[in-house]
Amino acid sequence: MSRLRFRKIAVIARAPASGSGGRIGAACREIAAVAGDFGATVAVEPALAAAAPGLATVDLRAHSVDLVISLGGDGTLLRTARLLFERDIPVLGINFGSLGFLTSVSATGIGESLRSVLDGDFFVERRQTLAAEIRDAAGEARLSFAVLNDAVVHKAGAAQVVHLDMWVGRQDDLEEIGSFSGDGVILSTPTGSTAYSLSAGGPIIVPQLNCFLVTPILPHTLALRPVVVPGDEEITVAALDGRDPLYLTVDGQEGGTVRPNERVVVRMGAFKVPLVRLPGHSFFATLRRKLSWAARPAGDG
């Protein structure tokens, strides 16, 4: 049982498309009804005002809340986490998407699950983040990003092979990892190890480990494999000849152009994202349920 008590609840969701507002609106009303039974109030982000008439709106960048509920898939939860970086506000993910690996509750179990949470029957799982920077030729950070899943360095524009050089270590003590040609490289948290990195052949990493993962994307050599890096290291990535324009994409949602002679530097972030979990929703239980990982063959007792 958790001692946390939630009195101010905010709801985040992708703006409803035509024909889907009813589902989102119904979920918002159900959340508000359950919260009211516990003396809590519910507000929605402004984009949901039309789908949930009668509920107040809230700007998470300007107002304080105790709990944020994300209605959608992993992309919506990632956007929610990005709005709350360094705010230490717990996030409960309700899956309205397909896989929903990061979300904790199915869309059909909103009422029962929320009652459990508001009754204190939950735990908080803190997920490590990354800090990613695009540094100019002088070594100064020009753009900075907080990352929950992954930072991907790839070719800007048309799909082409990219030639990358990589180093490990702090900027005054770099050791070259090596160079390669391919479609790019994924730098992911343990949380992100079950996302794009997994599709690119990377390993699954338990979220509690203090490390991050370097996964080449379709490298033009069989000798280059994913590498797990200790959490106190940094990874630096640059175009091999210094001239090819690159792009950095963060959590599949934002990013920036890496100009000629610039570098991408990634290290562990100082902040951990608090995700609300229900009993029985452990990391390995989620692997078995969402990915059919290590499932028993049919007919085994």
Q: Catalytic one among 59, 66, 74, 241?
A: 74
CATH class assigned to 8-122+278-291: alpha beta
Domain with CATH 3.40.50.10330 in the chain: 8-122+278-291
Q: In CATH, which superfamily holds the domain spanning 129-271? A: Probable inorganic polyphosphate/atp-NAD kinase; domain 2 (2.60.200.30)
pLDDT for residue 3: 64
Distances in Å between the Cα of 185 and the Cα atoms of 79, 148, 174, 182, 192 are 22, 16, 18, 8, 13
List the pLDDT tens digit at each of the 301 positions of the chain.
566 789 999 999 976 654 445 888 999 999 999 999 999 999 999 989 888 889 999 988 878 899 999 999 899 999 999 888 888 999 999 988 776 778 888 888 899 999 999 999 999 999 999 999 999 999 999 999 999 999 999 987 666 789 999 999 987 889 999 899 999 999 999 999 999 999 999 999 999 999 999 999 999 887 889 999 999 999 999 998 766 789 999 999 999 999 989 999 999 999 999 999 998 877 777 777 767 766 666 665 5
Paired residues of 42 in beta bridges: 9
Q: What is the 3-state secondary structure (H, E, C) of the chain?
A: CCCCCCCEEEEEECCCCCCCHHHHHHHHHHHHHHHHHCCCEEEECHHHCCCCCCCEECCCCCCCCCEEEEEECHHHHHHHHHHCCCCCCCEEEEECCCCCCCCCEEHHHHHHHHHHHHCCCCEEEEEEEEEEEEECCCCCEEEEEEECCEEEEEECCCCCCEEEEEEECCCCCCEEEEEEEECEEEEECCHHHHCHHHHCCCCCCCCCCCEEEEEEECCCCCCCCCEEEECCCEEEEEECCCCCCEEEEECCCEEEEECCCCEEEEEEEEEEEEEEECCCCCHHHHHHHHHCCCCCCCCCC
Q: Is 74 a catalytic residue?
A: yes
Angle in degrees, CA 282, 284, 288, rounded to 5: 115
Residue 210, both tokens: 């203090």
Domain with CATH 2.60.200.30 in the chain: 129-271
- Between CA 177 and CA 193 the distance in angstroms is 20
